[in-house]
């Protein structure tokens, strides 16, 4: 076990027989010098006492949303900002349902809803409750929000039944969080650059060439990189999307502006080019609005290829260069060719002709093509773009570390 000095862990205990396991998990964190604060839900106090939790955590135990003693502290805000990571163990079916709906009727759920930190859930419930479609749907929703799930395991349950739903053992939970925190420490030393969204290439003052890109996938990748500790810069074409204030956002409009912004932010350790940069621009931009005529010829020229420039840079090439390929036909053939031509490490390709994924959808389905891996390609099945980004960043972290 590694030393966790200066690491702040917010531990939320919900009402379930597995709550006693949380005491051992808390003990492990304290033994390795993590700072612990704990929230007990109302039902959790039926299984463990605030005194026992306080004794093990050596930190404050919170259990009431509206406490006169702490009213001025705005606990739900201060706690969510204080923590490096939030753990909910056990996470009951009721808590999972509440979080998936965005309900916030107690301190625990309010803190989680107000937080911008990584939240881990360690589910614990009867096998039938775990297998119920509503629980599985709720978990799918939470994964889409970026929650990480630990377990559950298969085994004997307190109710006498056997199956999946048993909370993971304290050591399993501890090691998962420990690995996350230490990965984040390593990543703090690394810079990540992400491009996202379309570009607008003007023909005249009111007309431009663009594409259907919403920027959602690129924004989600930037968020995932930041949550994993990377010093993240996002260069975005025109979108209406919001981003965490701790992520450096550079807004641009044209391919030329995006190229210059990219140059200024080199060198970087990781570069993810998710922007759908217009391949062509008008050879000359008309200074006045072009009047309507029966026939009009528009001369185009190639835009700067930002991915190709960065990936083939002699001195400032990032350790990892990842490009995106939006295709409508021959996805694998085109992606493999782009991987070779651009000299990048990965190409992430998706079929934007599909109704349920790609441009301006909440979901995506992509295939990662690797340059120097035994596994040449890997498909990430249809899911929310936030989930796709988490899976992509998981693989980035595994390779970069």
Residues 6+ apart with CB under 8 A from 244: 116, 223, 226
The maximal CA–CA distance of the chain, rounded, in angstroms, is 83
Q: Which helix (H) or strand (E) holds 8?
A: strand 8-13
Homologous superfamily of 8-185 in CATH? Flavin prenyltransferase-like (3.40.50.1950)
Indicate if the pLDDT at residue 271 is higher than 90.
yes
Indicate if the pLDDT at residue 74 is higher than 80.
no
Three-state secondary-structure class, residue 18: coil
| pLDDT tens digit sequence for 14-69 | 988 899 999 999 999 999 999 999 999 999 998 999 899 999 999 889 886 655 45
pTM (two decimals): 0.80
pLDDT of residue 1: 67
Tell me if 8-185 shares its fold with 189-400. Answer: yes
Domain boundaries in the chain?
8-185, 189-400
Q: Burial-class residue 72 by CB neighbours within 10 Å (0-12, 13-18, 19+).
A: exposed
| pLDDT tens digit sequence for 214-263 | 999 999 999 999 988 899 999 999 999 999 888 999 999 999 999 999 99
pLDDT of residue 28: 94
Three-state secondary-structure class, residue 270: strand
Beta strands in 237-312 (DSSP E): 248-251, 270-273, 280-282, 300-302
Q: How far apart are CA 358 and CA 364, in angstroms?
A: 5
Active site residues: 159
Structurally, at CATH architecture level, domain 189-400 sits in 3-Layer(aba) Sandwich (3.40)
pLDDT of residue 68: 47
Structure letter (DSSP) for residue 72: G
CA pseudo-torsion sign 61, 64, 65, 70: negative
Structure letter (DSSP) for residue 296: -
CA 165 from centroid of its chain's CA atoms: 26
pLDDT of residue 71: 47
Average pLDDT, the chain: 89
Find the range with the poorest average confidence among 84-88, 203-207, 216-220. Answer: 203-207
Q: Which two tokens stand for residue 347?
A: 């190409």
Q: Which two tokens stand for residue 385?
A: 């773009």
């Amino acid at each position: 076990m590694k030393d966790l000095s200066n690491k702040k862990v917010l531990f939320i205990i919900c009402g379930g027989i597995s709550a006693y396991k949380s005491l051992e998990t808390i003990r492990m964190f304290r033994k390795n010098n993590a700072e612990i604060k704990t929230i007990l839900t109302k039902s959790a106090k039926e299984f463990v006492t605030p005194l026992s939790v306080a004794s093990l955590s050596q930190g404050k135990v919170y259990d009431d949303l509206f406490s006169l003693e702490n009213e001025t502290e705005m606990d739900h805000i201060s706690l969510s900002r204080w923590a490096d990571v939030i753990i909910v163990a056990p996470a009951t079916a009721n808590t999972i349902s509440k979080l998936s709906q965005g309900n916030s009727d107690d301190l625990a759920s309010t803190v989680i809803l107000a937080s911008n930190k990584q939240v881990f859930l360690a589910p614990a419930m009867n096998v039938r409750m775990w297998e119920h479609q509503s629980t599985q749907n709720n978990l799918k929703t939470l994964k889409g929000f970026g929650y990480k799930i630990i377990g559950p395991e298969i085994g004997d349950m307190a109710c006498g039944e056997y199956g999946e739903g048993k909370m993971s053992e304290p050591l399993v939970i501890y090691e998962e969080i420990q690995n996350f925190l230490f990965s984040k420490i390593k990543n703090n030393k690394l810079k990540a650059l992400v491009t996202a969204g379309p570009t607008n290439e003007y023909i005249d003052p009111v007309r431009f060439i663009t594409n259907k890109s919403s920027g959602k996938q690129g924004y989600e990748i930037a968020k995932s990189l930041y949550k994993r500790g990377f010093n993240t810069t996002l260069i975005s074409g025109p979108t209406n999307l919001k981003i965490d204030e701790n992520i450096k956002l550079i807004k641009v409009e044209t391919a030329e502006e995006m190229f210059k912004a990219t140059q200024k932010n080199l060198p970087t350790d990781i570069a993810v080019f998710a922007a759908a940069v217009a391949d062509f621009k008008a050879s000359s931009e008309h200074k006045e609005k072009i009047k309507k005529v029966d026939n009009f010829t528009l001369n185009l020229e190639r835009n700067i290829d930002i991915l190709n420039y960065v990936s083939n840079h002699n001195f400032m090439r990032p350790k990892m260069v990842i490009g995106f390929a939006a295709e409508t036909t021959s996805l694998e053939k085109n992606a493999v060719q782009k991987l070779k031509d651009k000299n990048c490490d990965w190409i992430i390709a998706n079929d934007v002709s599909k109704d349920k994924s790609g441009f301006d959808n909440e979901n995506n389905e992509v295939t990662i093509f690797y340059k120097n891996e035994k596994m040449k390609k890997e498909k990430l099945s249809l899911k929310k773009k936030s989930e796709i980004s988490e899976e992509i960043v998981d693989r980035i972290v595994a390779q970069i570390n």
